[in-house]
Homo-oligomer: A and B are copies of this chain.
Amino acid sequence: MSETAARRRATMVEVAHAAGVSVMTVSYTYGRPERVSADTRARVREAAERLGYPGPHPGARSLRRGRTGTLGVVLGEHLTYAFDDPQATRFLSGVAGVCADHGMALTLVPITGGPSDVDRVTEAAVDGFVVWTTADDDPVIDAIAATGLPAVVHGGPRRDGLSFVAVDDRAAAEAVGREVFAGARRPAVLSFPLDRDRISTVTFGAATAGTVPGAASGIDPDATTAGAASGIDPDAATFRVTRRRLLGFRDAWAKAGGEWSQVRVAVCSINSAREAEALAAELLTGPDACDAIAAMGDELALGTLRTAARLGFAVPGDVTVSGWDDTDAAAPAGLTTVAQSLRDQGARCARIALGRLTSTDRDAEVAWNLVRRASTRRSQRRRAQP
């Protein structure tokens, strides 16, 4: 029982017939009730009820009207990241808020990492796209541009014809990097994935930028191997956000007089505290244990703090730690971090994609600021912000 197999819908013609009116009268009854006399309206409603007519077919209606009433969201990751990745979740909450305000639905396009992802994008019946951080070489970007629909990319890549929303990750990374690396001797970066391969590694910065063969592509497997062997070249990272943050951290360490090749870089494959705990354990083990860890997300930083506590490291005495995002958990944990609102950025993206923001507003910079707390050593000092 309670069989839910789709039964055939009644159509407008049938309702019109049953009510003894024309099809248009039925259409008006639903779309513009005021243009139909109360009497006929009642007759139509009654006939509809009797036939189990559920109202105008949404697909047919949208074909005719030329809009679908839903905003497409494309992730650079498997669809489940929308609900599993804490940063994506905050961002999408902002998108969802704006959608709800405008009565628009939110369609998550099913990305799996496979080659057919492009087709899924092409087949999505939506009025616009919001793209959540993807790699420079992701083919769905071109597919989205080809639809001609309004589209906004968050985080990267930049592309002509698509709007773009992101903070200045490089500047923010330099700011927090200078904070967390202050007085450090063995700095480390706990990084997001470099490219869509999402390989987890722990290695050092490339000795010299440019010495890594094939560094620019990030696709050539040999290049990847070479990169892992001889160090991380920020420019080889095809995720723009990761790349810019690596560059910013490199800048910060350079300002302190250091070489990028001294910086250990642990790359996690997903943004989870659990994986961070494991990688942090590597960074904090052995005679060369790191004494400063800049993480690209608060979740990673919190995992790092837990590992530090477990291994008996004092923070910031033995090791300093910084995060990114200033999530709710950051303040209680005393975590120095970059404050930015992914929720606001999501809302902003949605507004742009729905055509609710003028083009002058659109390219405005997105705000961020450094929040100094107890997990870094200079937290007591008040310093002007760059």
Contact = CB atoms under 8 A, between A and B. Distances in A.
Contacts of A146: 52, 54-55
B105 A99 contact: no
Interface stretch (A109-117, A198-206, A256-264, A376-384): A109-117
Most chain B CB inside 10 Å of its own CB: which residue of A105, A127, A146: A105
A31 to B, nearest CB: 11
Given A54-B146, A54-B147, A105-B110, 19 more contacts: A2-B163, A4-B150, A4-B152, A5-B150, A8-B148, A54-B148, A58-B126, A59-B59, A60-B63, A61-B123, A69-B123, A70-B107, A79-B97, A89-B89, A100-B110, A103-B112, A106-B107, A107-B107, A274-B328
A80 B63 contact: no
Contacts of A62: 59, 125
B80 A97 contact: yes
A93 B97 contact: no
Contacts of A100: 78-80, 110-112
A90 interface: yes
Interface residues of A, number: 74
Contacts of A197: none
A97 B152 CA distance: 25
A104 interface: yes
Interface string A37-65: 00000000000000010111111111100
B6 A148 contact: yes
A292 interface: no
Contacts of A109: 105
Interface string A247-269: 00000000000000000000000
Contact of A104 (B6, B59, B110, B359): B110
A283 interface: no
A328 B302 CA distance: 15
A182 interface: no
Contacts of A101: 112
Contact of A99 (B79, B84, B122, B147): B79
Given A106-B110, A107-B107, A2 B83 contact: no
Contacts of A126: 58
Nearest to A89: B83
A160 interface: yes
Nearest to A5: B150
Given A52-B148, A100-B110, A105 B80 contact: no
A84 B80 contact: no
